[in-house]
Chains A and B, each alone.
Chain A
Amino acid sequence: MMLIPCPWCGDRLDAEFTCGGEAHIMRPDPATASDAEWADYLFMRENPKGLHHERWFHAHGCRRWFHMTRDTASHRIVAVYAITESAPEASG
């Protein structure tokens, strides 16, 4: 259980949210990408034990997407930033 600071609604219980998984995955050009690059884009994930940049959706609230950096071992939330922003440099 986590208390997630939605950038629009403030602190809410994690049950209100849907996690959209790893953030900042770039879609390669399908016209030129090799099978390996395409597989990497579709299926391969960092899945780190530690800090993880991910997308979250406030499904039972403002219904807005945002980014969050979270420690997957301790569930400590390190940063919350807009869906248009890139990953914070030195989060920790």
Chain B
Amino acid sequence: MKYSLWNLLRQAPRGHRDWPQAWRNPEPKEAYDVIIIGAGGHGLATAYYLAKEHGISRTAVLEKGWLGGGNTGRNTTIVRSNYLWDESAHLYEHSLRLFETLSQDLNFNVMFSPRGVINLAHNEHDLKELRRRGHACRLNGIDYEMVTPREIKEIAPIINISRSIRYPVLGGAMQRRAGNARHDAVAWGLARRADELGVDIIQNCEVTGIDVRDGRVTGVQTTRGAIRANRIGAVPAGHASVVASMAGLRLPVESHALQAMVTEPVKPVLDTVIMSNTVHVYISQSDKGELVLGAGIDGYNSYSQKGGINVIEHQLEGLCELYPIVSRLKIMRVWGGIVDIAPDASPIISKTPIEGFYINCGWGTGGFKATPGSGWVFAHTIAQDRPHRLNEAFDLGRFESGLLIDEHGAAAVAH
């Protein structure tokens, strides 16, 4: 049933008891045209665009837990496209454009809010780096302008722009079209629409093996039995290496715990997103009023979805100096997610040496912003058996050719 004002009014006298389930909970079939491993945002977007753009809807999305329960529901919901290199700029900009119309497209309010994202500079080098990135962005048609400390203070009065703090704010750069979206809604909206188009989303179904015969995939083994398919797209985020190893593949990623947290809810004090690479602090305010804060990764491999408290402490030190009002707030929740980080901090959206097996991973600390764009190009890659122009540079082969897409500067902090 379409979500509309008319249907809302129609359901009201019935006490909203007749709304149908948003998506089915189907039993796995014996075979599909395509299997997607992982029902996070990227996996669901892949299934959705496979059906919408390529007419492939005999698709199963297999999820070992519940949909959107991994990094999709754990990130700090920032959407932006201010990347340095052309390849990334084009890919993330494509995703940002999809976000702009995603609510209408899915008939589900993903609450995309282009409230602007500011990157802070705390030293001369930061200022130069932001100017350089700004020029690169504008050459790619992406808005990214320098802002002075005074202008930042006007936009965000809670920030401390005193010159006497340890890392003073010397300036910043702002992408006004950037912002955030509701992460759960993105997963739910994609799931509901993909399901309507015939995609089977199968939760509580962990892939335990990938069947490869004569160099091509034939199906998967799962905790709910074997399922056949000639095309398999793996979108397993933090578990990328684990899934790839089932097909005998090695990947250039390492999994780390990344943490985020929220304060107790307060009245609106911040209507933009502010990030700082140097002191590793980023902050925004959710619609519920919580300040959403992101910390860094732990420095060692981890699959435990739980990070070190010293990382939280480090982030809060910088936060309290930059935004003194938060020192009076209680932290309500802290959580971790497992992110797979590639050597060049850029994703891998690629065919593999195994025919019919495709991999989409390496999004590291910043995958949420790319959710629709990633699914869009990955669907193309699977449907056409070749990458789209937007993702051909993000292939596995770049680690052999040396054509890396070094985005440590643009990707290091923001999620």
A54–B302 Cα gap in the complex (Å)? 12
| SS class, residues of chain B in contact with chain A | mixed
Known: A39-B400, A43-B399, A45-B251. A1 touches B303 (CB 8 A): no
Nearest-neighbour CB distance to chain B for A4, whole angstroms, equals: 10
> 8 Å CB contacts to A: which residues of B291-348?
299-304, 308-310, 340, 343
Size range of the interface on B? 20 to 34
- A1's nearest neighbour on chain B, judged by CB, is B308
Bound CA span A13–B308, Å: 11
Point out which of A14, A44, A48, A74 has the most chain B C-beta atoms below 10 A from its C-beta: A44
Q: Output the least CB separation between A47 and chain B (Å).
A: 4
Query: Does B119 make an interface contact (CB < 8 A)?
Result: no
Q: Roughly how many angstroms separate A62 CA and B336 CA in the complex, as a whole number?
A: 31
The interface bits of chain B over 263-291 (1 if a CB of A lies within 8 angstroms of the residue's CB, else 0) are 00000000000000000000000000000
Chain A hits for B303, CB < 8 A: 49, 72-73
Q: Give 1 or 0 for each of A46-62: 1 = CB within 8 Å of chain B CB.
A: 11110010100000000
Q: Which residues of A contact B308 (CB under 8 A)?
A: 1, 14-15
What residues of A have a CB within 8 angstroms of the CB of B253 in the complex? 45, 47
Taking CB atoms, residues of chain B closer than 8 Å to A86 are: none
**B388 on interface, CB distance cutoff 8 Å:** no
Q: A45-B241, A54-B300, A72-B302 are in contact. Are A15 and B252 (CB under 8 A)?
A: no
The answer on a CB contact under 8 Å between B241 and A46 is yes
Q: Find the A residue at minimum CB distance from B344.
A: A43
- The verdict on B255 contacting chain A, using a C-beta distance below 8 Å, is yes
Once the chains are docked, how many angstroms separate the CA of A38 from the CA of B401? 10
- Among A15, A22, A38, A44, point to the contact of B251 (Cβ < 8 A): A44
Please report whether the interface of chain A is mostly helix, strand, loop or mixed according to DSSP. Answer: mixed
* Nearest CB of A to B322, in Å: 22
- Whole-angstrom distance between the Cβ of A55 and the nearest chain B Cβ: 10
A residues near B309, Cβ cutoff 8 Å: 1
Q: Within residues 2 to 57 of chain A, which ones have a CB less than 8 A from any CB in chain B?
A: 13-15, 18-19, 21-22, 35-36, 38-40, 42-49, 52, 54
- Complex: chain A residue closest to B242, CB-CB: A49
In the complex, A44 Cα to B397 Cα: how many Å?
12
Q: Please, how many angstroms separate the alpha-carbon atoms of A8 and B79 in the complex?
A: 47
What is the CA–CA distance of A73 and B303 in the complex, to the nearest angstrom?
5
Tell me the complex Cα distance, A35–B401, Å. 7
Contacts of A19 in B (CB 8 A): 299-301
Instruction: Considering the complex, give the chain A residue whose CB is closest to the CB of B252.
Output: A43
Point out the residues of chain B lying under 8 angstroms from A72, CB to CB: 255, 301-304
- What chain A residues lie within 8 Å of B138 (beta carbons)? none
| A44 and B252 within 8 A (CB) | yes
Q: Given contact pairs A47-B251, A70-B300, enumerate 15 new A-B contacts (beta carbons under 8 Å).
A: A13-B310, A14-B308, A19-B300, A21-B254, A40-B250, A46-B250, A47-B241, A47-B242, A48-B242, A48-B245, A49-B239, A49-B303, A72-B302, A74-B304, A75-B304
A-B pairs, 3 with minimum CB distance: A43-B252, A47-B241, A19-B300
Residues of chain B at the chain A interface (Cβ within 8 Å) = 239-242, 245, 250-255, 299-304, 308-310, 340, 343, 399-401
